[in-house]
Amino acid sequence: MAFVDLIRHGEPVGGRRYRGQLDDPLSELGWRQMRSAVAAQRPWRHIISSPLLRCSEFAAELGQRLQLPLEIEPRLMEIGFGRWEGQTAEQIEASEPGALRRFYDDPVRGAPPGAEELEHFHQRVLAAWQMIIRRDAEMPVLVVAHAGVIRAIVGEVLGMPPGNMFKLQVANAGISRIHVSDALQTVLEFHNARL
């Protein structure tokens, strides 16, 4: 079977915060995390990346080092967090007590003001996912993306409703592998691993 590896970007400049679609680059730690995660691996034929710097800069470096084609796919951009963009959990809790709990309990009705609708996010990510798995000649593929994007794809493979996707933990530089059969059946082989 062919497979797709999904890797979340490493830590961005500014550390842990609800970054969403803010375009912060990787920190030095983030670069080390990503380089360590892929190390000497080279099973891929193609790299597809989110356009945001914390993904695309590493994808470009890896593509150049391995001499692999790189494709930037806008539909793999992280979910937009609206008013929470750039804030830490502590800042959100201080200004909106209980808001984070409401969001994680019900990300559809508890979304922050101005956030991208979960259904819209889910649809755009899964449209990109369908495009990726239908291009068999390019497999195996490495997708460099975000926690939300990986949650949406893994959740789809596991048959989870979109509202439950935030129950999946996705570590910085964690890798998930999804096997794709000739009939486009998908199976999660591992999640949040290091190769």
Would you call 78 a catalytic residue per the annotation?
Answer: yes
b/e per residue 80-118 (b: at least 16 CB within 10 A)? bbebbbebeeeebeeebeebbeebeeebeeebbeebbeb
Which of the residues 78, 116, 138, 156 is marked catalytic? 78
Asked if 52 and 77 count as a contact pair (C-beta separation under 8 A), the reply is yes
Q: Among the options 9, 46, 122, 146, which is catalytic?
A: 9
CB atoms within 10 A of CB 25: 17
What is the C-alpha separation between 14 and 134, in angstroms, rounded?
37
Which residues are the active-site residues? 9, 78
